[in-house]
Structure 1
Amino acid sequence: MTKGSQANVAEIHNQVLMMLGHEIFDSELSRRVLVDHAFIVAGGEITKAARNWIGNKLDQSKRSQILFMDREDIVNLFVVSPLPAPQMPRASYDPVFDDPIPF
């Protein structure tokens, strides 16, 4: 989000480290397991510099567990899938009731 600082990317890096080291309960196996993959999803652009910085900070095993998805990837999913793309929200319909109150 900030062009002159790595603060946001560093915060994402810290969250990824916490997530990959965290155990979750797998209901199919009925036991606790480690997270095996993490998605970093952004509504904007994930710059190549940010991807490289996070990749360089993680060791080889954790680097392969990270999947990046930014706005362009999300739009491409709608292009290749049969799902309709979301439309702009419509103005709320506010009906006008002209009928007199029956009591």
Structure 2
Amino acid sequence: MTAVAIDFGTSNTVISILESDTQSPKSLRFTNQSRLFVGVNSKGERLEVPVVPSLLFIKEGNQVVLGKNIRNQRLGLSQTYPPERLFKNLSEI
């Protein structure tokens, strides 16, 4: 079993797993979805944290759409899909 942690922030979300062999956290990077936040840790080492926009949409049939694909498809913003299927911040979940 894989442990998954999701930090659903106001603007960006980080999704991480706990790698079973090293017991170290690893933030997941999603092709065509993630962008990198670059920083430095307390040891002066460069950090790259992949994030996705904090948007989640549930389509018919429980299909989940994440991040910028929601904006591109205007999900929850048109009459085609109801806005109650769009989650933009933690208080709405």
Structure 2 length-normalised TM: 0.26
Q: Which has the higher helix share?
A: 1
